[in-house]
Amino acid sequence: MIVGVLGLQGAVREHVKSLERLGTDTKIVKGEADLDGISGLVLPGGESTAISLLASGSLLERLRRMAGEGFPMFGTCAGMILLSREVDGAPSPYIGAIDIGVRRNASGRQVDSFETILKVEGIGEDVPAVFIRAPYVTRLGERVVPMALYAGAVVMAREENVLVTSFHPELTEDLRIHRYFLGMIEEKDEAKEGEG
């Protein structure tokens, strides 16, 4: 199994390190050709200006198509914005792979960034979470499963093949959320084998 990490922005190295600590091969994805041969894709957090690099061209179209075909994707912070169907009350110009609405920078400026412990459904009651100008979920589609809350707001959710977090699990030593995503990829691979 090779997991791609979108290399246009954010904590790319930290995600690679977390995945490699779990014994997973990784590949940094900077263009459409890099998507070949991977089993899942992580979309890191980062500056939203870097997101605009993705908003044009064939890479975005290919990611939309892959998400629609059930390809496993995991977005953290700005990566969650890329995967959301609605951003700040308007339809998303990005991938739109999970039926949620998000509000950017809902947790405030970077100086207001913080770390806390979350109860995450199916993972644990003591999951460390680093929030940096985090987006929060403002609307959940009916097939979206909320997995964690902070101050009453959804900060982690899953819809079938797509997992999103408002926070940065890659900035902690805890590997459980990355392990959960690898489990999603394995489920998809097993389902594919069952069809064949």
Distance between CA 16 and CA 4 in Å, rounded? 9
Distance between CA 66 and CA 61 in Å, rounded? 9
Distance between CA 15 and CA 9 in Å, rounded? 12
Establish whether 187 is a catalytic residue.
no
Establish whether 77 is a catalytic residue.
yes
Residue that has been written with the tokens 């990355």 in this structure: 178
Are 160 and 99 spatial neighbours (Cβ–Cβ below 8 Å)?
A: no
Are 166 and 134 spatial neighbours (Cβ–Cβ below 8 Å)?
A: yes
Catalytic residue among 15, 77, 159, 178: 77
Catalytic residue among 14, 159, 168, 178: 168
Q: Which residues are catalytic?
A: 77, 168, 170
